[in-house]
Structure formats: structure tokens, C-alpha cells
Amino acid sequence: MPFYVAPEQQMKDKADYARKGIARGRSAVVLQYEGGILMVADNMSRTLHKISEIYDRIGFAAVGRYPEFENLRLMGVRFADVRGYQYDRRDVSGRQLANIYAQTLGTVFSESLKPWEVEIVVAEVGDAADEDEIYRITFDGSIVDEQGFVAVGGSSEHVSDVLKDRFAADASLSAALNAATHALARENGEERELEASNLEVAILERARQHRKFRRIHGRRLTRLIEEGKANGRAASGGGTSGADTADEADE
Amino acid sequence: MFEGFEGGRLPAAFMSAGTSSFTEFLSSVSPEMLPGHKLPPGGGTEHLTPDATTIVALTFPGGVLVAGDRRATQGNVIANRDMEKVFRTDEFSAVAIAGSAGIGIELARLYQVELEHYEKMEGRSLSLEGKANKLSQMVRGNLGMAMQGFVVVPLLVGFDENTEQGRVFSYDAVGGRYEEHRYHSIGSGSVFARGSVKKLYREDLDQTGATKVALEALYDAADDDSATGGPDLHRKIFPLVDVITEDGHRRLSTEEVARLATEVVEGRAANPDGPTAPLG
């Protein structure tokens, strides 16, 4: 015997459910740096990715329930590859993908009993910094065109606030990574130490040929973290160095 | 674009766990986009697309290279002078085609998406054998077209990251896959090119030396086969050369190839039959 539930109440319940689900997981941030777009997620797993490649210039970052956003990722890759094969590689855009994701999440939210507990970011690196696009899509299908940086996840507002103070669109890779990890480490008001093994890091590198997406891990990641910390200390101590020196080496 | 797409949602197939193969996926959602879909009956249609001609591939310590001439012919007519028949398929492989140009270009494009699609879906690349077998299936998929006269055969070269060496795979029109050792050539001028490489090949060739051998071979093919184009110094049209090593795929710049090709042409001015191999 079903009870009558007001639509407002129903939507509110679903939204609360989704928010709670998302808040259980760790956050992710996506931000511009001098060479493109940096994506960083707090992720212990080396195989279950929160950050992935969708197409030549487009990256994907997600938080929440893995099987749900993995589904969205596969959908995005299929959509982009079909589009690119049908027309041309340049005809696949982040905006199209963001729209498809918004439509899908919106329909799931309004039509099914259980909303998806995910929040995703679609980032596209352009030929110049002012052509970069970063979209945030929430569990109910809302889509926001973000400027410069975005944080998603449980306490994204908190992470976002911390990141705002340190964000600079023309920062070096190590400085941007330092800002991102600093913000992620202060999630939920706590203060943790994030190491290379806790982080999943990838960049959309503007200058790169063909596919711009590239993961950063292992020694290169450790080195960038060290460099960012050293420069951060130097900067707070009045120093001015901030150059990302050994950027293009191994890995 | 897709049935049901207008409503704003993609068909359910896009969300299913399903396959990591792009061709398989496309055949389930939009089969009409695949080459060879709905073949009209009848034969004798091979005049509809020009023929792409000679390809040479050879391995050298630490890598492999593939070079292709630029001519496409239709009967006795040169249909295109600067056609590209060598394609980068991913970071560690390249494909070159000979035969029906229109079909071959589409095959290479689809194969390229196929490899990248798998890599993105699975989070890792196919092994080189996996890539070679996949191409074999795709060539076999073209059998219907081949029997109507649109024969296309690819040549796959790749750097095997496990064994750290360059490898070459050739195919026949039904998808038979053959691993070639050291060097191989396909296309109308391949008989002459292979003979030329056979005499010039050395186990210790470096990358530049291997490029030179490939250019000499293409020159010999163009010398004796009317469907193969030699280096065109006046129009600045030179063979395409793709090199794959542990650092990945690299297409040699026009300047690099121009310099070596000019040396080859100038060498032929002094000695029209080219370098000779020592006896004994």
C-alpha cells in the first residue's frame, strides 16, 4: 500500500541520499597550470581509477560510487570514439560530453528510485589557457562551467576554499600540484599528510602531440611533490623560485 | 546520429559493461558506419578506387621503420602524387596499406580507433600479438569486398615492449597473418623493393642507415614499377618514413627525408643502378 509522498519531499530525499553517499568518499580537484590542466584525486588504488582519459584533449575525474562513475566513463569513451570516427577527431568536444553526462544523470535522478552517488568533472585543454574548459556535473544532472579550478566530493566546498587561496592559473606543475594536495589534505577540516601512494595524478598537457592525457606516477610524482614542498617553503620564507625544472624527464 | 539520441539520451548499449572492441560496439549501435556494410552485388567495380602501391619495412637494433611511396594509380593514370599510406596507429605501432586505397584508408582509420578504444576502456594497451591478431580479423572482415576486387593488404610494424625489439607482420587478403623477420615489402613494386633491401640489409644498421636502405629500395621499386612513385625533388614530395623505438612512434620530418632522398637521387646520377653489394 503506497503512501503519498510530495514530489518536493521525494526529490529532497533523493538528493540527501546522493549527497550522503558522495560525502563518504574522498575528494578530487581539477585545476589549470601553466602547461595545461592538472587533475588530482585522493585515491589509494592504483588500478581503480578516479581520473581517466576520454579523448585527445578531454579528461574525466569522478568521485562517489566506483561502478556508477565507471559506467559513465565507458559511456563517454564510446561516445567520443564514435563521434571522432564519424566526423573528425577535432569534432569531439568537452561541452558535448558534459551535456550527455548531465542528461544521463538528470534522467537517472528523476526517473529511478535510487539516484547515482557520483559527481564528475569533464576537462578539456585548449590551444591557449583561455580556451580551457572545466565542467562540473552533479548527481542531479546540474552542470556548472567552472573557471580555473574545481573541487568535487564530500567536502568540496571546504577543499575549494583552501584551493582558492593558493590557485594561480600560471603556476608551474609542481606548484599547482602542491596547491592541490594541500587542499585535499585539509578535507573535513583535518590535516593529513598526503604521499605519492595516496594520490592519483594526471595532466592534460597542452604542448603534447596527439593525445594530451598523461598519468604521473612513481618517481616523477615523488619528485614533483618534493619540489612543490621545497618551493612552497621558499615562497613562504620570502624566496621567489618556482620554476618546474626537471619536468620532462623519465617515466 | 544514433536512434534515440535526439531525446538526449544515448542508447542503453553505451552504458552496458559489454565489449572493449570499438568495431564490435559500433556494429551493435550503428552498423551502417562500418566499412563494407551492405555490399552491393556484382563485381568488376575495382576501377572505383585507385591503388596504393609500394611499402617497405625493416627492423634495426632497437626499433623498426616503415616507409611508403606517395603514388596512387588508377590503371595507367596517376590518381594522386602525394597520398599518405603509412598511418600511426598508436604510440608503438604503425600500419601501411597496399591495394584499394579508399578501403585501405578506412581500414587504417578504424584500426587506429580500435587500438585506442581498447587502451582507454581497459586502461592498458593490447600486446603486439594482440594488435596483430586484431588486424587479421579486420582484414578478414573485408573479404566480401576483396572478392569484388577491392583487395587491400596492410603491413603492421610495432615495437614489442616485452622483447624490446621491432617486429613486422604481413597479411594476405583473407586475413592470414605472417610474421616477417628483418624486412618485408608489399604492393605492386614490392618484388623490386624486396630484392633491393635483401642486398643492402645489414644486421647492424642504425636508424639513419635503415632509412637510407628503405629509400634506396623505394627508388628501385619506382625504377622498375610504373605504379610506384620515386622521390619528387621538384614538387618536394618524398616518401613517408615512420620510425618506432622504445621512445615511441616518430614520423621523420619532410626535411630529414628530403636530405636522405636527395643523397639517394644524387647517388643514382653517378651510378643509375644504385649501390652494389660486395661479392663473397
Burial A145-165 (b: 16+ CB within 10 A, else e): ebeebbbbbbbbebbbebbee
Interface test mutation site (partner B, options A50, A85, A97, A118, max chain B beta carbons within 10 A) = A85
What is the pLDDT, as a whole number, of residue A237? 56
Taking CA atoms, what residue in A is nearest to B16?
Answer: A71
Position A52, amino acid: S
How far lies B247's CA from each of A202, B159, B160, B250, in Å? Answer: 20, 10, 12, 9
SS (H, E, C) chain B: CCCCHHHCCCCHHHCCCCCCCHHHHHHHHCHHHCCCCCCCCCCCCHHHCCEECCEEEEEECCEEEEEECCCEEECCEEEECCCCCEEEEECCEEEEEEEEHHHHHHHHHHHHHHHHHHHHHHCCCCCHHHHHHHHHHHHHHCHHHHHCCCCEEEEEEEEECCCCEEEEEEECCCCCEEEECCEEEECCCHHHHHHHHHHHCCCCCCHHHHHHHHHHHHHHHHHHCCCCCCCECCCCECCEEEEEECCEEEECCHHHHHHHHHHHHHHHHHCCCCCCCCCC
What is the pLDDT, as a whole number, of residue B206? 95
What is the pLDDT, as a whole number, of residue B12? 83
pLDDT of B194 above 50: yes
Q: Is residue A242 part of a domain?
A: no
What is the pLDDT, as a whole number, of residue B6? 44
Among B73-87, B124-138, B142-156, B255-269, which is the least confidently predicted range?
B142-156
- Arithmetic mean of pLDDT, B227-242: 95
Q: Residue A144 is part of a domain; what is its CATH number?
A: 3.60.20.10
Which residue shows C-alpha cell 556484382?
B42
Inter-residue contact A94 to A122 (CB < 8 Å): yes
Taking CA atoms, what residue in A is nearest to B112?
Answer: A85
Residue A218 Cα to chain centre, angstroms: 20
Rounded Cα–Cα distance for residues B103 and B35 (Å): 8
Inter-residue contact B78 to B230 (CB < 8 Å): no
CB-nearest partner of A78 from B14, B33, B88:
B14
- Arithmetic mean of pLDDT, A44-65: 94
pLDDT of A245 above 50: no
Per-residue pLDDT band for B155 (boundaries 50, 70, 90) equals: very high
List the domains of chain B with CATH numbers: 49-270 (3.60.20.10)
Percentage of residues in chain A having pLDDT higher than 90: 71
Per-residue pLDDT band for B224 (boundaries 50, 70, 90) equals: very high
Output A167 or B2, whichever has higher pLDDT.
A167
pLDDT digits (tens, 9 = 90+) for A229-238: 888 777 665 4
Q: Do B120 and A78 touch (CB under 8 A)?
A: no
What is the pLDDT, as a whole number, of residue B43? 67
How far lies B107's CA from each of A82, A183, B154, in Å? Answer: 15, 47, 9
Q: Do A81 and B29 touch (CB under 8 A)?
A: no
- Arithmetic mean of pLDDT, A200-228: 93
Per-residue pLDDT band for B220 (boundaries 50, 70, 90) equals: very high
Rounded Cα–Cα distance for residues A248 and B248 (Å): 15
What is the residue range of A143's domain?
Answer: 7-235
Q: Is residue A187 part of a domain?
A: yes
Interface test mutation site (partner B, options A49, A74, A91, A143, max chain B beta carbons within 10 A) = A74
pLDDT digits (tens, 9 = 90+) for B78-124: 999 999 999 999 999 999 999 999 999 999 999 999 999 999 999 99
- Arithmetic mean of pLDDT, B192-216: 96
pLDDT of A251 above 60: no
Question: Between vectors from CA B246 to CA B241 and to CA B250, what angle results, nearest 5°?
Answer: 25
What is the pLDDT, as a whole number, of residue B14? 87
Percentage of residues in chain B having pLDDT higher than 70: 95
DSSP class of A3: P
List chain A residues with CB under 8 Å of B9.
Answer: 103-104, 107
Taking CA atoms, what residue in B is nearest to A213?
Answer: B120
Per-residue pLDDT band for B2 (boundaries 50, 70, 90) equals: low
Q: Is residue A241 part of a domain?
A: no
What is the pLDDT, as a whole number, of residue A240? 42
Rounded Cα–Cα distance for residues B96 and B168 (Å): 11
CB-nearest partner of B25 from A49, A54, A78:
A78
Rounded Cα–Cα distance for residues B143 and B157 (Å): 22
pLDDT of A246 above 70: no
What is the pLDDT, as a whole number, of residue A236? 64
List chain B residues with CB under 8 Å of A46.
Answer: none
Per-residue pLDDT band for B4 (boundaries 50, 70, 90) equals: very low
Q: Active-site residue among B19, B23, B49, B53?
A: B53
What is the pLDDT, as a whole number, of residue A216? 94
Rounded Cα–Cα distance for residues B109 and B117 (Å): 12
Rounded Cα–Cα distance for residues A140 and A148 (Å): 23
Q: Is residue A165 part of a domain?
A: yes
CA dihedral (B51, B208, B274, B74) in degrees, to 10, reads: 10
Q: Is residue A32 part of a domain?
A: yes
Per-residue pLDDT band for A154 (boundaries 50, 70, 90) equals: confident
How many independent structural domains does chain A possess? Answer: 1
Rounded Cα–Cα distance for residues B228 and B232 (Å): 12
User: Which residues 163-202 of A have a C-beta within 8 angstroms of B?
Assistant: none
- Arithmetic mean of pLDDT, B121-138: 95
Q: Do B113 and A84 touch (CB under 8 A)?
A: yes
Q: Is residue A240 part of a domain?
A: no
What is the sign, positive or negative, of the torsion defined by CA atoms of B98, B100, B102, B103? Answer: negative
Q: Is residue A245 part of a domain?
A: no
Please tell me the distance in Å from B174's CA to the nearest CA on chain A. Answer: 25
Per-residue pLDDT band for B137 (boundaries 50, 70, 90) equals: very high
Q: Is residue A195 part of a domain?
A: yes
List chain B residues with CB under 8 Å of A82.
Answer: 1-2, 25-26, 29-30, 33
CB-nearest partner of B10 from A79, A84, A211:
A79
pLDDT of B36 above 80: no
What is the sign, positive or negative, of the torsion defined by CA atoms of B184, B189, B195, B198? Answer: negative
Q: Do B116 and A85 touch (CB under 8 A)?
A: no
Inter-residue contact B260 to B219 (CB < 8 Å): no
- Arithmetic mean of pLDDT, B249-274: 95
Output A245 or B261, whichever has higher pLDDT.
B261
Burial A197-219 (b: 16+ CB within 10 A, else e): ebbbbbbbbbebeebbbebbeee
CB-nearest partner of B15 from A54, A71, A103:
A71
Please confirm, yes or no, whether B19 is among the known catalytic residues: no
